[in-house]
Amino acid sequence: MTIVDQLFEQIEALPEKDRASLLLRLRKSDPLAGGVSGKDFMATLPYLDEESAREMMEAIEAGCEQVDEEGW
C-alpha cells in the first residue's frame, strides 16, 4: 500500500470537522515559508475532552521508553 493510499484511509476515517481542519491546515501551509504559524495551527485543532486527553496520556505513557530494534 502506498503512502497516498494510507493517507487516504486515515483521512476517510476522520470526522468531517477534522477533515475540514486538516484541509485548512494543508491550504495554509507553504513548505517554502516554513508552514503555518503555531498560533494558526493551534486555532484549527479540535479541543480534547477530558476523557480523550486522559486516554492519550495513558497511550503515551504505555508506549514510552520502548525501543523498536527493527526501526534502527
CA gap 26, 55 in Å, rounded: 27
Q: Answer yes or no: is 70 within a domain.
A: no
Q: Is residue 7 part of a domain?
A: no
Domain membership of residue 54 as a residue range: 14-63
d(CA 46, CA 19): 11
pLDDT at 45: 73
Residue 13's pLDDT is what? 92
Q: Do residues 51 and 27 lie in contact, with contact meaning Cβ atoms separated by under 8 Å?
A: no
In this prediction, residue 36 carries a pLDDT of 66
Q: Where are the alpha helices (DSSP H) in the chain?
A: 3-13, 16-28, 38-44, 50-63
Q: Looking at the domain assignment, is residue 36 inside a domain?
A: yes
Phi, then psi, of 66 in degrees rounded to 5: -115, 140
pLDDT of residue 27: 77
Distance from the Cα of residue 47 to its chain's centroid:
13
Look at residue 30 in the predicted model and tell me its pLDDT. Answer: 60
Give me the tens of pLDDT residue by residue for the chain, a chain 72 residues long: 898 888 889 999 998 888 888 888 887 766 555 666 777 777 777 777 788 878 878 888 887 777 777 775
